[in-house]
Structure 1
Amino acid sequence: MINALGKTREFDLAWLLILERINSDQGPNEFTFAILIRRYARAGLVLPAIRAYEYASKLDSICSFDMEMKLFEILLDSFCKEGSVRVASEYLEEKVKLHPSWVPSTKVYNILLNGWFRSRKLKQAERLWIRMQQENVKTSVVTYGTLVEGYCRMGRVEMAMELLTDMRKEGIEPNAIVYNPIIYALGDAGNLKEALGMMERLMGFCKAGDLVGASKVLKMMISKGFVPTLTTYNCFFSYFAKAGKIEEGLNLYTKLIESGHVPDRLTYHLLVKMLCKQERLGLVLQVMKEMRARGCDLDLVTCTMLIHLVLKMQKFDEACAEFEDLIRRGIVPQYLTFEKMSDELKKQRLSKLARKLCDTMASVPHSTKLPNTYGRKEDISRKREASILRKAQVMTGIDIPEDD
């Protein structure tokens, strides 16, 4: 309820609900205030967010240090994600001044570090990193992962590479999350580094269509104890989609599942694209079924590919059914999809289906900036003519027959 009220910016009602139940058994807890804080931050209301945190931290139900610390981290994280990093930083400084004995957690510093990098404030991020080192803040793989990703995002790949050495000196072994940004940055720069050359070559092979070379590198990675990430697998799927290698793609998909990875939306997009290109409708439907079963909703991209496939296969009833299903789920199809379907139905002289398609889309709110309206021009003309006839009939009192 608090989330729904916050989403519509009904914060007064949200507080009314909180205060009414403050002393009840089912009163607000730290999760309630976490939701409220995030909604305030998303609305750009930083002071109310801070007041919500300070109010919650004084409640008996949220008086433990761990709970208060968790809420504080959520407050800073919410500010940073909405671009209010300076506000988060200043509020941290105020808290440190008020409580000199209090030492911010590593997670607090990681949140701010990530916030500065996301805002592309390199100097502030580097100052914070120096401060962390001076204060002997215990770093983690998340800290270094944030630094590496941040430097790569700013085009400082060499700095990111140096951090890998620092990590190992501290006894922290880089993982896939740390490596991935460097792989992409090196790829963009066309630069090969010996320490990451193995993974860099993998991406190069995939892009060049050298599946044999890429497979060899992948096996080398696994033999050296490096577990391929989902990003690595998606690199292969991208190649398979372009090359139309269905069997190889499906075999790799099976290995991906067996290795414990959960396919993401990009994985499914690439698989569906690959299968649609080869007109393998049965397999497309099977993959989409698995997609739903794993918690990935069928989005506009996936459904559009399916509609275009069944249309190409001249399964017009199925195409219209999928089109209507999109609308039922609150997703407005692309104009180009509508136009393509409408043209094909008229070409096949399926006027009834074409009219139904136009009527369906005419009832859906859509942009007025599209190159055409979703209703056909002849439909608009017919409606305008009927309107004129009705007005003439009212004015003259003469029954004027309308054309069927």
Structure 2
Amino acid sequence: MLDALCKCCLVEEAEVMFKRVKSKIKPNSDTYNILFFGWCRVRNPTRGMCVLEDMIKMGHTPENFTYNTAIDTFCKAGMLTEAAELLEFMKTKGSTMSSPTAKTYAIMMVALVQNDRMNDCFKILADMIDSGCLPDVSTYKELIEGMCSCGKIEAAYKFLQEMGRTGYPPDIVTYNCFLKVLCDNKDSDEALKLYKKMIDVGCMPSVQTYNILILMFFRIGDPEGAFETWNEMDRRGCPRDTDTYCVMIEGLFGCSNTRDAMYLLEQVINRGMKLPYKKFDTFLMQLSAVGDLQAIHRLSEHMRKFYNPAMARRFALNQKRKSMSLRGK
């Protein structure tokens, strides 16, 4: 009942009911968490903190997740001072279960960046490292996404530099996370700038780097950029994987470059590459729209090497029928 009221944002009513029955039914940590998250849901962190304090007084230890939610709520409500105080409380009075994690620090740092407090952000970063809580991939990802989402691209670059200066240089996974955010935002100029920076600092792009770039170029309607990236892989000696072919073929079909798409599909078949079944499905439908029965047959035969023959044959026959129907036969 308490949980239902809180989920409906009727937290005042939930608290009234809680006070009425707590003398008869002893509340546990789950009870306090429900109320706490209820106040967070309605963006009232002050009342939420009162619940948290009562919870501690009653001998219950809030878990790290509870504290992280509180800090996130404070930050979203613009109460950065209260968030910082709670973070300090976690460090000084929290138990092992509730000591700050990389996630906790990331929430705080993103909020500081969004409020143009870069110096404070770097202080938190230094404090994080000094406490022995080392940043992981998810930390980088959250920080970079948070910075980019509010247009703080330069702040993200500065963050990468600071990490290198403090002895924890970003690796290829971190750069790819940053690149993906830029590419998802279709910011090709910044994406290429980051790509060049990776090379300048000696962090060689991976096949995932190129796959992300190729996908971006097709999304922004620049197939020439996709081809240039494809050729760049040869120049850099980076072997293409299945995803590279899938992204390229799908992109070529999408921009009506059927000839090159079918050429790459032929390479896939000749090299004996196993594509995900959904991609086989997609490419067969594209070939069906083109009306190339021979290509449909070749691709379906290739599918049979990796998937249930009956399923592959049934799907290929369906595509042939559709193709003939489209051509009016």
Larger radius of gyration: 1
**Per-residue displacement from partner, 1:37-86 (whole Å, max 9, x unpaired)?**
45x38xx824358735631531477436x537763453123222454323
Letter in 2 for 1:6: D
Note if contact 2:114-2:147 (Cα within 8 Å) is conserved in structure 1.
no
TM superposition shift of 1:152: 1.8
Structure 1 residues 46 and 182 mapped into 2: Cα distance closer, same or farther (>3 Å)? farther
Letter in 2 for 1:32: T
TM superposition shift of 1:212: 9.3
The corresponding residue for 1:140 is: 206
1:232-311 alignment, distance < 5 Å? none
Note if contact 2:217-2:223 (Cα within 8 Å) is conserved in structure 1.
yes
Structure 1 residues 218 and 46 mapped into 2: Cα distance closer, same or farther (>3 Å)? farther
Partners of 1:14 and 1:218 in 2: how far apart? 58
Residue in structure 1 matching 2:188, options 105, 122, 141: 122
The corresponding residue for 1:187 is: 253
Q: Within the alignment, does 1:27 sit opposite 2:96 as a pair?
A: no
The corresponding residue for 2:148 is: 80
**Per-residue displacement from partner, 1:234-257 (whole Å, max 9, x unpaired)?**
xx7xx99xx8xxxxxxxxxxxxxx
Structure 1 residues 73 and 168 mapped into 2: Cα distance closer, same or farther (>3 Å)? same
Partners of 2:301 and 2:118 in 1: how far apart? 50
Letter in 2 for 1:133: I
**Per-residue displacement from partner, 1:282-334 (whole Å, max 9, x unpaired)?**
xxxxxxxxxxxxxxxxxxxxxxxxxxxxxxxxxxxxxxxxxxxxxxxxxxxxx
Structure 1 residues 50 and 168 mapped into 2: Cα distance closer, same or farther (>3 Å)? farther
TM superposition shift of 1:160: 1.9
Letter in 2 for 1:34: A
The corresponding residue for 2:217 is: 151
Partners of 1:82 and 1:142 in 2: how far apart? 25
Note if contact 2:147-2:156 (Cα within 8 Å) is conserved in structure 1.
yes
Note if contact 2:105-2:124 (Cα within 8 Å) is conserved in structure 1.
no
Indicate the structure whose relative CO is greater, using CA pairs within 8 Å and at least 6 residues apart: 2
Note if contact 2:71-2:87 (Cα within 8 Å) is conserved in structure 1.
no
The corresponding residue for 2:123 is: 54
Partners of 2:256 and 2:212 in 1: how far apart? 23
Q: TM-score, normalised by structure 1?
A: 0.44
Note if contact 1:202-1:217 (Cα within 8 Å) is conserved in structure 2.
yes
1:2-401 alignment, distance < 5 Å? 2-3=68-69, 6-7=72-73, 9-10=76-77, 11-12=79-80, 13-23=82-92, 24=94, 25=96, 26-37=98-109, 40=111, 45-47=114-116, 51-52=120-121, 54-59=123-128, 62-63=131-132, 66-67=134-135, 71-93=139-161, 99=165, 103-167=169-233, 170=236, 172-191=238-257, 192-193=259-260, 195-198=263-266, 202-207=284-289, 214=296, 216-220=298-302, 223=305
Letter in 2 for 1:125: A
Q: CA RMSD in A?
A: 4.3
Q: TM-score, normalised by structure 2?
A: 0.52
TM superposition shift of 1:142: 1.9
Most deviating of 166-175 and 118-127:
166-175
Note if contact 1:34-1:71 (Cα within 8 Å) is conserved in structure 2.
yes
Partners of 1:128 and 1:55 in 2: how far apart? 25
TM superposition shift of 1:133: 2.8
Partners of 1:167 and 1:52 in 2: how far apart? 37
TM superposition shift of 1:90: 4.2
TM superposition shift of 1:123: 2.9
Unaligned runs of 5+ in 1: 228-232, 244-404
Structure 1 residues 58 and 184 mapped into 2: Cα distance closer, same or farther (>3 Å)? same
Note if contact 1:117-1:125 (Cα within 8 Å) is conserved in structure 2.
yes
TM superposition shift of 1:132: 2.7
Note if contact 2:118-2:155 (Cα within 8 Å) is conserved in structure 1.
no
Letter in 2 for 1:132: M
Letter in 1 for 2:299: V
**Per-residue displacement from partner, 1:318-371 (whole Å, max 9, x unpaired)?**
xxxxxxxxxxxxxxxxxxxxxxxxxxxxxxxxxxxxxxxxxxxxxxxxxxxxxx
The corresponding residue for 1:279 is: none
